Amino acid sequence: MNPVALPDHGSSENHGIVIIEGIMGSGKSTTMRFVAKALEDAGLPALAVHERSDPHPVRATDELQHWFEPWRESTAEQLARRAVSRWRSFAEEVRLNASVPVLDGQLFHGDLTNLFLMEASFDDLAAYCDRLVHVIEPLNPLVVYLRQQNVERAVRLVCAERGEAWVKYQVDWKLKGPYAVRRSLAGLEGLIALYQDYRLMTDALFDRLRLDKMVIENSERDWARYNQQVLERLGLDGVPSAN
């Protein structure tokens, strides 16, 4: 059997990078691992990049002493510049490498989330996103957007699954940011309100993306079906899907 050809990052028929997006608990990490394995099974070297990878190739807050609260030592403009610089270096490495990176967020979920928490305007967030698109566009990315119609239900579900300690961690982190403080968001209800606003923002940014992209409404958690949709979009529908 002939091996599957490695991707040409300049080809319109192949994707040189895959980015899985969505709010917390939407299935980004699980889908990232599935896609990376499917690529490997098809003979395409893949690089799975978890949001917790350390060192992380593109996460700009890693450069800060207070990475957990970047607003303490950085402006939104400074953080955006750092992030674009890291993406530019990463894209150059990808162009020189045969592996296809599969990222757990980082277009929206990552530094852009911090910019949102730092109360960057939508115009500034859109400009930042446009700069990232310009950097990665030559790699012919595929952006997979995992989206639940009911944000409140989705947040309550993941909070119930992950427990009180995890909820406290999320609240203590994200509701300390300028966006939440200015709006007096507090507790689980504040976290839900934050993510409702966040999702409105990422929906608008996703609609503007000039990249190959797909939306999967995964509230039903039918992972075999969602995985198959991603495989078909990647031209890997001959690879068996897994839960």
Q: What is the pLDDT of residue 2?
A: 32
Q: Does residue 25 contact residue 150 with C-beta atoms inside 8 Å?
A: no
Q: What is the pLDDT of residue 124?
A: 98
Helical pair 122-136 and 187-208, crossing angle rounded to 10 deg = 50
Q: What is the pLDDT of residue 9?
A: 41
Domains defined along the chain, listed by start: 17-148+210-234 (3.40.50.300)
**212's tokens:** 């190959």
- 170/101 Cα distance (integer angstroms): 27
Residue 241 has a pLDDT of 46
Q: Would you state the pLDDT for residue 12?
A: 34
Both structure tokens of 206: 């996703």
Tokens for 126? 């859109």
pLDDT tens across the length of the chain (243 residues): 233 343 444 333 589 999 999 999 999 999 999 999 999 999 999 999 999 898 999 999 999 999 989 999 999 999 999 999 999 999 999 999 889 999 999 999 999 999 999 999 999 999 999 999 999 999 999 999 999 999 999 999 999 999 999 999 999 999 999 999 999 999 999 999 999 999 999 999 999 999 999 999 999 999 999 999 999 999 997 655 444
